[in-house]
Structure 1
Amino acid sequence: MNKFNTLFRGIEVLIAFFLAIMIALVFINVVLRYGFSTGFAWSEEISRLCFIYLVYLGAIGAMRDNQHLIIDSILTRIQPAAQKAVFLLVQAGIIWVMVVLSMGSWQLVIQNLGDRWVATQFPVFLIFGVGLVTGVAIILLSLANIYRLVVLKLSVSELISVRHEADSEQTGNIQ
């Protein structure tokens, strides 16, 4: 499990890196435009790419932490058997949506293999490739959630709070 924690820590570092690059480039471009009536055309494209990667990688992190759009207040008020059924339906829905995302992203990668951005000449498929990575990663995380629920017999409340407990153990805090 330590290797997976290192992998997800790397994703968090990438998110921070993309955010820093995006903020720096936008700030520098604003200063150059208002102060010197000039700017870098390529900075907008790189900022856009950083923002796209930040959002998609953030979705992977949120799914890993089970902090995606889930209404746990409803889950906590129903019976444990119903909780498991609802959680399984949610995971199945997530898998279906991510299959659609992955297939669409793959098709767009193939369609745009020869296209390049105007200012940076980066390949356009870089935008769509991250959708494929995100889709596959979230499918795997949903399958892991199903495995934990069905095979390891964890409760839904344990699955929703798994990451919070792991953070508490690492920092020594008790919740």
Structure 2
Amino acid sequence: MSAKYAPKTALGRAVHVFEESAIAVILGVMTVMTFMNVVLRYVFNTSVIWAPEATQALFAWLVLFGMSYAVKVTAHLGVDAVIAMVPQRSRRIMALISALACLLYAVLLMKGAWDYFAPFAGFEQTGGRWFPTGFIKTRDQAWYETEQIPMPAILHFLEPMFNQGEAYGKLPRFIPYAILPIGAALLLFRVIQASVEVVRGNRDSLIVSHEAEDAIDDVRHLNDGE
């Protein structure tokens, strides 16, 4: 799928490599932790008590980090039965409408993600029911910790900034929750990029389509070669 996306600048290539590497690392760490815990439980009758919670957090990072990546490489599935029945001009109009709808969704998601995350990091939420109208006073909940995940020694420098100098016993919740605004911001950024490509005529839609027809064509070519 990544072959459909070709970064045109050095920065674009660096970000592209970073995204793919991060997704691979997260998936790898999840696999190793789960496998390790299974072996410890069934072979040594013990387990790493915080591994399930950490795996859940990493899975959330994988999903939310991957949704923007899927927009970038045109990997989100969609139904194009209606689009395929209309003329090319109508397809372009429908693609623009869908791009606007996705932009609206990404903006709303960004607001919701920030408003959920902000209290856990001691930041202010945004006002307004649908769209941000500024920042409002918010109860500081930066002292909230995860249930079991230990606090790495390398992160103790965060305590004066977020916990008024008090030591965290466990990993603070704002660290795993940080993927909410990060993932939403990346999604908004990628949807804007994709929408610009649709406007310029360099992209037909925001979804992958015709996968069934492509699969049939691949099989047909294989059969023709026999």
TMscore range, shorter length: 0.7 to 0.9
What CA RMSD, in Å, does the superposition of the two structures yield over aligned residues?
Answer: 2.1
In 2, Cα distance between equivalents of 1:74 and 1:6: 38
- Cα 1:75/1:16, change in 2 over 3 Å: same
| Alignment partner of 1:63 out of 71, 79, 82 | 71
In 1, Cα distance between equivalents of 2:207 and 2:60: 27
In 2, Cα distance between equivalents of 1:16 and 1:22: 10
Tell me whether 1:42 sits opposite 2:90 in the alignment. no
Tell me whether 1:24 sits opposite 2:53 in the alignment. no
In 2, Cα distance between equivalents of 1:16 and 1:64: 16
In 2, Cα distance between equivalents of 1:155 and 1:13: 26
Q: Which has the larger radius of gyration?
A: 2
TM-score (norm 1): 0.80
For 1:89-146, what per-residue CA distance to the aligned partner results, in whole angstroms no more than 9, with x for missing partners?
Answer: 2212212222222111111112223211122222212333212122222222222222
Q: Residues 95 and 138 of structure 1 are in contact (CA less than 8 Å); yes or no, is this contact kept in structure 2? A: no
Q: Residues 194 and 203 of structure 2 are in contact (CA less than 8 Å); yes or no, is this contact kept in structure 1? A: no
In 2, Cα distance between equivalents of 1:155 and 1:35: 53
| Alignment partner of 2:191 out of 142, 156, 166 | 142
Q: Secondary structure at the match of 1:38?
A: coil
Tell me whether 1:154 sits opposite 2:202 in the alignment. yes
Q: Residues 101 and 131 of structure 1 are in contact (CA less than 8 Å); yes or no, is this contact kept in structure 2? A: no
In 2, Cα distance between equivalents of 1:77 and 1:127: 44
Q: Secondary structure at the match of 1:67?
A: coil
Match of 1:86 in 2: 94
Q: Residues 60 and 134 of structure 1 are in contact (CA less than 8 Å); yes or no, is this contact kept in structure 2? A: yes
Runs of 4+ displaced beyond 6 Å = none
User: Which stretches in structure 1 are left out of the alignment for 5+ residues?
Assistant: 162-175
Residue correspondences, number: 159
Match of 2:20 in 1: 12
In 2, Cα distance between equivalents of 1:144 and 1:68: 15
In 2, Cα distance between equivalents of 1:63 and 1:102: 16
Larger fraction in helix? 1
Identity of aligned residues (%): 22
In 2, Cα distance between equivalents of 1:127 and 1:31: 26
Larger fraction in strand? 2
Match of 1:119 in 2: 148
For 1:17-41, what per-residue CA distance to the aligned partner results, in whole angstroms no more than 9, with x for missing partners?
Answer: 1111101111111111112221111
Q: Secondary structure at the match of 1:102?
A: helix
The amino acid that maps onto 2:204 is V
